[in-house]
Amino acid sequence: MHEFHFTPNESWDRNALLADLRKLHEASSTFWEGFSTTEFFTAVGSGWTPAGNVRHLNKAIQPLTRALRLPRFVLRVLFGKPRNPSRTYASLRDKYLATLKQGAGAGSFAPEPSQAHKNDADQRSRLMSKRGELSQQLWSAVGSWREEDLDRYLLPHPLLGKLTIREMLFFTLYHNYHHVQSLATRLRGEQVSAVGP
């Protein structure tokens, strides 16, 4: 049985966000481990394979981590200053889901076709190891930011436009949750309310 138990706390501050990202990582790790290797590389309905979801999430985390490690002045020069306060977790989530309903896709963040990989236990192990490394790198990068600076700098999101760092962390938390929860819902044979990246 592929159980997934996690509810985002919709926390505002950096430390609580980090705690939620770690808890989600643990809960989703348990979920991914519940698949046999064959199941891990097999599509669930019309959606991506579990491996495809992990590849997509890895692709999404890498550029965020790189950006969070850039000098602050580089972010200011590249992306400007926020004109509005950071939105809440719920507001950011709702905007993302509305964008998906309008037909937005994963674009360059989509996973490569499964036939592009050797779908075996070694490949699975490498993929999950990379996931763990990328998550650790993200947590470390987030930990280097001061609380107040999360609302003072912007990053571009391919679907949602420029987001504050705090909003980008809200998105990252929800995006990871969304993928695991959607797959768990498909496995239970239920209708997924928002299909997409």
pLDDT in tens, 138-166: 999 999 999 999 999 999 999 999 999 99
Average pLDDT of the residues in 56-68: 95
- First CA to last CA distance, the chain: 24
* Domain segments of the chain as ranges: 14-107+119-187
Distance, CA of 88 to CA of 71 (rounded, Å): 26
Beta strand residue intervals within 52-188, DSSP E: 154-157, 161-164
Give the tens place of pLDDT for each residue, 97-153: 999 898 877 766 766 666 656 788 999 999 999 999 999 999 999 999 999 999 999
The single-letter code of the amino acid at 52 is: G
Question: The domain 14-107+119-187 belongs to what CATH superfamily?
Answer: dinb family like domain (1.20.120.450)
Cα–Cα separations (whole angstroms), residue 91 to 94, 183, 184: 5, 23, 24
Confidence label for 197 from pLDDT (cuts 50, 70 and 90): very low
* Residue 170, token pair as written in the block: 């809200």
Structure tokens, 174: 């929800």
Q: How many CB atoms lie within 10 A of CB 83?
A: 7
